[in-house]
Structure formats: structure tokens, C-alpha cells
Amino acid sequence: MIFRRFWLPTALLALTVSSLPSIAASAAPRPSDTAWSVQRDADVLRDTGVTGVAVRLETPRGTVTARSGVADLVTRRPVPEDGHLRLGSTTKTFVATVLLQLVGEKRISLDQTVEELLPGVVSGAGNDGRTITLRHLLQHTSGLPEYISDVFPDPSAQTYLANRWRAYAPEELVGLAMRHEPAFPAGTGWAYSNTNYVLAGMITEKVTGRTWEQQVHDRVLRPLGLRQTSTPGTWPFLPRPHAADYQQFTAGGPLVDTTIPYRPFDSGADGSMTGTARDLNRFFAALAGGELLKPAELAAMRGTVQVPPDSGHPEGTRDGLGLFLTPLSCGGGYLGHGGNGFGYEIRAATTTDGRRTVTVSAHSRSADPRVAARQEDAVRTLIDHALCRDN
């Protein structure tokens, strides 16, 4: 997975191979070409080995949904329609939106340094908060090291099962990251680091006196009526209905039910939110359509830098502030973000005008990197087809 960037070993980045029955798309008896294409592409993604797939596409002509595979390997029930999902790093777009609203209110500046905002927090091993701005954090150009390998040093089912209930305070996670040297001086490169958004959450609370979760609820979820989206923190259980998530930790090994998240990196501003595809599409359409940010701040969010070709993103991808711009085969590009954790992957994408929005969720991952490549190609193709069709 390329968006929820916790840089686990390659063995954890793929999807497991299995042969599972298709679940019919929730489309009319005589579906449109778009509905047919979405279901076909969902089945292709399932055929890469995903236990369960769900897609929701919103267009000016209506909604198309598709489901494929099964919700769990025990009952083999259908994948739920508009089930609850772990949003993973898609959380970052919500956090960036809140901070840009604060920028628009003149309560904070994108050019303020981390040292000004959180004195003494970013230091050690060559890390220097005096040289890193809020813009650097939101755009992953800070060079700050990642904390993930510190909380998951051994990629095994045993480590997951032993440590999944442990939670860290944001300050602890930043402290772990500060033991490592930066990847580059701030502003001179690009590297995805969850540490950036742990700090963004801390800055939100420092500036407003309220947690990032409270700010997301008040500034985004409530105004848009996103009642199925939440910030559960360390609460480990998804609301029903939802599909089960499965992680294969070693190639050829068993699938482990990982529906309970790994809380050391699934409980903060970098990736803890849950929601539904319906809510997620509404959020990205509203964001792209200018409902959440003033023009100047929306333009700042869309101000992008090139993502390196070896980062795992499609060629030509650019990163804004909590929002990626990815090329489309039909011209232009789409805005979006995705996320993943053990056993799940989610991708949300919208055309730049917010008129076509799609969310794709996959509910298993395997230890075979070759399958990861096939799965990634299938997801990219699905999104490209969904956003490029004219009906």
C-alpha cells in the first residue's frame, strides 16, 4: 500500500491469493456501462486474492456500488453494502483540513516552525524543529524519521498479537522517532512519515486548546452530516456491519484475523479514524468543491511537490497538504488519499471538481510482493476507469 505509509517490510505489502465467489453489484437489473465496469474491476481486484472488496462511486448521474468476495472466511457472508471501514492514513486529510481552516482564521501560519508551535519537542539525532514548518509536516517534506519500526520491529503474527492492545501517547511516538536521524534537511526532499501527522495533531491541540478529534468533529463531520464517521482513538472495535480484515504475515502462511487494529500505530492523528464509503465520498467531494476551505487555503492544499519515482506511487504523482494528485489516463488527475493497516487497504479519490468520487476498500493483505503489485495495479485501474468514464 502506498498511502498509509508505515514502511513495513515488503513482505507485508501484498494481498493474499485466494479464489472467492463474486458478490453481485448493487446496481439496477439492467446496469449502465459504468456499473458493469465497476463490478468487473471489483472482481478483478478480488481475483488478485483479496478476501473481500467494496466499491462506491458517486457521479452526477447517481451512485454505483459493487461488492466482491466475502465479508469473512467463517460464515462467507456477502461483503456489507456501505459497511464501516478503517480509514487509516486517510485520517491525514481530515487533520490537514482542520489545520488549513485555522490558517484561514489567522490562528496559525503554514510558515511557522515546529519549534515555535511545540517548543523542544523536535530535537535530537540531527532533528531540528527550528528548520521545519507546518507546511513541511503536512507535505511530508520535513525529513523527519518514521516511528513505525520502533513499535513494530518484528513483522510477525506473534508481534501483532502480543502488542496490538498497547497504546502510545503522541509524545511517546515522537520521542521514538527522534532517536533516528532525519532523511534529509527540511524542504530538500520528500518522504512519507507518519511522525509528521502525529505532530500535526499535537499542534492542533496546542493552538486550539482542544484535541484534533474534537476539531474534526466540530469543523468537518458535523457540518457535513457525516454521522457514520468517527475518531475512536484506542477503541478497537468497528461498528457493524463491517467486513473482517485478514493479514498474511509470511509468504505461504495462514491468514490472521486482524480486524482488531494494531493500536501502536492505529490510534492517532496519522491514521485512527473509521467511517463508511458514503461518508468518505461526501467528504472528498465537499473538500474538492470548496465547501470546507476558503479559496486561498484550498489552493495551498493543492499546491504540490513531485513524489519521487521510487516511492511506490504512480508515475507523475504529486503531494499537496494532506492530499495527493494522481494522473488519470483520460487527462488531468484526481485528488485523494488512502490508508492501510494490517489486513485492510482503502483508497478515496475524486476528480478535481468533486463531481465524481470513488472509495475502494480491500479486506486482506498477504506476504507475497508479487501479489501486491497485481493488487496495486487492479486498484489503480479501477479508480482510473471509475473517474474517467463519462456516464
> Before 241, cis peptide (omega within 30)?
yes
Which SS3 state, helix, strand or coil, does residue 376 take? helix
Size of the chain, expressed as the number of residues it contains: 391
Phi, psi of 96 (to 5 degrees): -60, -40
Grid coordinates standing for 207? Answer: 493552538
Amino acid occupying residue 345: E
Going by C-alpha positions, the residue among 329, 336, 342, 376 that lies closest to residue 357 is 336
278: left (phi over 0), alpha (psi -120 to 50) or beta: alpha
Please name which of 293, 374, 387, 268 lies closest in space to residue 336, comparing C-alpha atoms. 387
In order, the DSSP letters of 190-245 are: ----HHHHHHHHHHHHHHHSS-HHHHHIIIIIHHHT-TT-B--TT---PPSS----
Count of H-run helices and E-run strands, the chain = 13, 15
H/E stretch holding 114: helix 114-117
Please name which of 277, 286, 293 lies closest in space to residue 358, comparing C-alpha atoms: 277
Q: 253: helix, coil or strand?
A: coil
Question: Residue 136 and residue 132: Cα distance in Å, rounded?
Answer: 6
d(CA 285, CA 185): 35
Inter-residue contact 9 to 361 (CB < 8 Å): no
Cβ neighbours, 10 Å, residue 47 = 18
List, by residue number, the catalytic residues. 89
3-state secondary structure of 110: coil
